[in-house]
Amino acid sequence: MVDNDERRHSEDLLLQWREQHERFVSERVGKPGEDLQRRLLEEELAPFQDKPPFVRRLLIDKPPGWEWRLTAELFRHYNTEIFENLEDLNSGRYLRQLSFLDEASAIVWIDQKISEMQEIFGPVDGLLKRLTKSWGEPGEPADVRAMNRSVVLIRDWLAHVLQFEESIRFTRLPENFQRLHELLEDVVGSQARKLEELPAELDQMVAMIDTDHGGTLEKPLIIKKTIEVVLPDRWPENFNREYQKVTGTYLGLQEAEAKRIVRPFAWLYFLIFFFVAFFVVSSLLGSMP
């Protein structure tokens, strides 16, 4: 059949056809009780109409681990371009309007950038905790709206990081400020890019389903993931020294201030036992006469 010919049609198109066909069948031959279920599903799918068909398919089928897989796919959908831009920016592959500052303006500008860096990672911890919570406790339904909202806010934060890095990259300071300028470049962006690992980590969690991972109902396997934000080696000392050299004053960026710039991101917890319980129950039911 044409709608199963993967050689002639893309996966997205096949998934769209499948979704339309299922809707057609449900509307015309579905049982009365299925009509309410269909309307509830359509309400859940409504915010995702402009998302890739595979995202909607996950919400329709809800296979084991769909919460993690949905998060991974939404993360890729919203953030792939931003991560590519961060990488291209760091590699010097695009240009924006340049700003040129004199010495007096450069000092004010540097002070502002340090203040921004001390606050820029603040929201991420709460966002990752909210994302983890949206998956729900074992046996409880996931909060799809909170999941999507969390990933959207992470996208907005990453866009802010890109804007921050662009403001540094495309600002030109006097020659004696060049070393300070170099020290500011990609400090934030390099750490934000660590979040790009998250979808692959979630895919690995899904791949562990129905494998002998050792988790049980009594003793679930808990996988902890932390993304640590770090400054380059001796960065505060180097920055202080250069700042004093060009301004004649000591910025005083001590360890306490440096810790405000870098802080660990939230722990992400992956609990894997309800898949094992489901597998055991399914096996028992399958063996019953």
Q: Give the pLDDT of residue 280.
A: 39
* Predicted pLDDT at 29: 54
Structural domain boundaries of the chain? Answer: 1-61, 64-287
Predicted confidence at residue 189, as pLDDT, reads 96
pLDDT for position 157: 97
What is the pLDDT at residue 279? 39
Are 203 and 71 contacting, i.e. CB atoms less than 8 angstroms apart? no
pLDDT digits (tens), the chain, 289 positions: 444 555 554 555 444 544 454 554 455 555 555 655 566 667 778 888 889 888 989 998 999 899 999 999 999 999 999 999 999 999 999 999 999 999 999 999 999 999 999 889 889 888 998 999 999 887 788 999 999 999 999 999 999 999 999 999 999 999 999 999 999 999 999 999 999 999 999 999 888 888 887 877 777 777 888 888 888 888 988 998 999 898 876 566 655 555 556 555 555 555 554 444 433 333 333 333 3
For the question of whether the overall pTM of this predicted structure is more than 0.85, the answer is no
> Residue 219's pLDDT is what?
78
SS3 of the chain: CHHHCCCCCCHHHHHHHHHHHHHHHHHHHCCHHHHHHHHHHHHHHHHHCCCCHHHHHHHHHCCCCHHHHHHHHHHHHHHHHHHHHHHHHHCCCCCCCCEECCHHHHHHHHHHHHHHHHHCCHHHHHHHHHHHHHCCCCCCCCCHHHHHHHHHHHHHHHHHHHHHHHHHHCEECCHHHHHHHHHHCCHHHHHHHHHHHHHHHHHHHHHCCCCCCCCCCCCCEEEEECCCCCCCCCHHHHHHHHHHHHHCCCCCCCHHHHHHHCCCCCCEEEEECHHHHHHHHHHHHHHCC
